A and B are shown apart, each in its own frame.
Chain A
């Protein structure tokens, strides 16, 4: 039920050795106690001050090492995300790797005609269903965009995205959360579905996310959201995106030390608010591309640095937010395939627990349903490649080898029948021989098969509906959000 990689544990693959991890950890503690972090929230300053930090200058709050070490002791090492109905579904722990889809971005690469256009409400419905259907995407992370291009105010668009997810997918759901009010509304609606705030805490199907700003700034909005999430003890993905050479040193160890300091200080604050509040360590350290000045989603350095950060997270026994399934490319093609393959490989090898950004293109300005479907296939392929091999009597099959003997055939043997289904079978990649595209069978190009599969799921997948009574209750809540802004409760048409 949970994911493809439950048995995967390839800890011999390492970017950093123990000594290097310790040095980065110590460097982060040095940064926190000597350089300090900006903290723009009165409550956060009070909490930090009360626990022994020097908060006399909010621009440079100095946090001593023992406060950080104490927080690391109380932060949970395992977070279980549930389905909408409260069934445990995704277990974020150890080296287990899971992936999540993205339903919305400013633009969409339409699978029907391969063209780029603004992403609208109907697209977000399609994408939510797609994520619900794809087996290797086990949760969803919305950017809060549905309806904005159609004239909904931004804060409302965020909540409409969220409601579309709730209605069209039963998988765990996270959100970028436009502001504190949206977070409160989202917790309220999720509590209603869960049967109460305490029930939601015990069986969370919702996770929040906040972003400190590199270098070393905890903004008010992020802090307020984190304090609310900690108060409810709901899973909080805290993630930072340092750009080596721009917002962090151009050397990778320094970039990791800065990112780690940001996350450790945020963790410390959350534990002060409520011991045991779950945090997912979200580090997306990268370079700045010095030719284009973009944050390159397909860079090899991103894989290297996210892999190294995963080891830091695991060094602390914290679940890790990884990154894969995204590309700088604007079309489904060579660049997309190879960048995403490299990311999926690194994610699984390093054991990132919660791998996000599946489906993003053109440095996170466009969502591609086809890329989600392709990544689903690549995840399957990666899982098949990185399986732990069994070596025992049954798998060595010496009796069978003796029976078949030299020159014989294994094809019609029961042993073959019993075991061949462990071979991975591609759905999109084309393995047919021959030159007859379109002929019966599989002689279509992989690009055609990808489009066909994507459209088939969008057109045919029916998610498990929310119970009728619940649906009308949450729709009432949504109506009140519209009314708060003086609007009628209707989704704008195209």
Chain B
């Protein structure tokens, strides 16, 4: 009998090949893929997130855990799609117009993927209307907007206003982040969520989805 706790451990330790092997073995032994995700994989990333928040893990260690999770999910995704089970949620992520910085956005994207989200990265220097279009195209439940500069963070407000007008706010939650962004700023412009760092962004995204 396959010890599935090894899947959790492999993800926590960022052992991507190990995580993939155990997953493949489990699928061969006809373990329910939803059980694999909910009982072992997501709890593994929760534990990683907890350790990062407690400053027991450094960011690259969290990132390789997310990478292991992503690889282990690969053989599972087609099975889920075939059985009509939705992925956790779809996210459109990008950096606002006028801003070419993408490292923070990439970090959040990787972490969301690691947490099982389907992530559509629409890049940097993205005009407000492109955010809205992408949300519609991908039928995304979350729009995640990044800005690094004080001179570009006002662009977020524009996107929020356009989102209000285009009527996507009741189906799509909007998450903002970036070095100069604060909870107060997020509240002021009417965003649904704010993550102080990539780890926090994941838990905020999860909470937004479960509120739905």
* A interface with B by C-beta (< 8 Å): 105-107, 118, 143-145, 148, 153-154, 158, 176, 178-179, 213, 217, 219, 221, 243, 245-247, 288, 290-295, 363-365
Contacts and interface: CB of A to CB of B under 8 A. Distances in A.
A291 B179 contact: no
A178 B151 CA distance: 6
Interface in B111-153: 125, 150-151, 153
26 contacts: A105-B150, A106-B150, A106-B182, A106-B185, A143-B151, A144-B151, A148-B154, A154-B151, A154-B155, A158-B151, A176-B151, A178-B151, A179-B98, A217-B100, A219-B125, A221-B98, A247-B103, A288-B59, A290-B59, A290-B60, A291-B55, A293-B107, A294-B179, A294-B197, A364-B179, A364-B180
Q: Lowest 7 CB-CB distances: which A-B pairs, in order?
A: A154-B154, A290-B58, A178-B151, A219-B100, A290-B59, A213-B100, A365-B180
A116 to B, nearest CB: 9
A245 B60 contact: yes
A89 to B, nearest CB: 27
Interface string B141-177: 0000000001101110000000000000000000000
A213 B60 contact: no
Interface in B194-212: 197-198
A143 B153 CA distance: 13
Interface in B79-128: 98, 100-101, 103-104, 107, 125
Contacts of B150: 105-106, 143-145, 176
Contact of A365 (B98, B103, B182): B182
A365 B197 contact: no
Nearest to A250: B60
B39 to A, nearest CB: 29
Contacts of A153: 154
A217 B182 CA distance: 27
Contact of A293 (B59, B100, B184): B59
B197 to A, nearest CB: 5
Contacts of A247: 103
Nearest to A179: B98
Contacts of B100: 213, 217, 219
A364 B107 CA distance: 20
Contacts of A178: 151
Contacts, number: 56
Chain B interface bracket (under 10, 10 to 19, 20 to 34, 35 or more): 20 to 34
B55 to A, nearest CB: 5
B180 A291 contact: no
Given A106-B180, A213-B101, A247-B103, 8 more contacts: A148-B154, A176-B150, A179-B151, A219-B125, A292-B197, A293-B107, A294-B197, A365-B180
A145 B149 CA distance: 11
Contacts of A243: 103
Contacts of A154: 151, 154-155
A172 B212 CA distance: 54
B96 to A, nearest CB: 11
A217 B101 CA distance: 10
Contacts of B104: 293
B208 to A, nearest CB: 21
Nearest to A145: B150
A290 to B, nearest CB: 4
Residue among B125, B151, B153 with the highest chain A CB neighbour number at 10 A: B151
A485 to B, nearest CB: 13
A364 B104 CA distance: 16
Interface in B27-74: 55, 58-60
Contacts of B180: 106, 364-365
Contacts of B153: 106
A454 B101 CA distance: 36
A106 B100 CA distance: 20
A176 B154 CA distance: 15
B66 to A, nearest CB: 13
A363 B103 contact: no
The listed residue with most A CB atoms (<10 A of its CB), out of B55, B101, B150, B182, is B150
A178 B198 CA distance: 27
Nearest to A40: B100
B111 to A, nearest CB: 10
A293 B185 contact: no
A415 B55 CA distance: 59
A36 to B, nearest CB: 17
A291 B58 contact: yes
B72 to A, nearest CB: 24
Contact of B198 (A105, A176, A293, A365): A293
A189 to B, nearest CB: 19
A144 to B, nearest CB: 6
A105 B150 CA distance: 8
A246 B103 contact: yes
B151 A295 contact: no
Indicate the member of A105, A144, A292 with the most B CB atoms within 10 Å.
A292
B112 to A, nearest CB: 15
Contacts of A176: 150-151
B151 A291 contact: no
B114 to A, nearest CB: 15
A80 B98 CA distance: 31
A179 B182 CA distance: 24
A288 B153 CA distance: 21
Contacts of A219: 100, 125
Nearest to A177: B151
A290 B180 CA distance: 18
Contacts of B58: 290-291
Nearest to B55: A291
A482 B182 CA distance: 28
A128 B51 CA distance: 44
A215 to B, nearest CB: 10
Contacts of B179: 294-295, 363-365
Contacts of B98: 179, 221
A121 to B, nearest CB: 15
A290 B153 CA distance: 24
Contacts of B184: 118
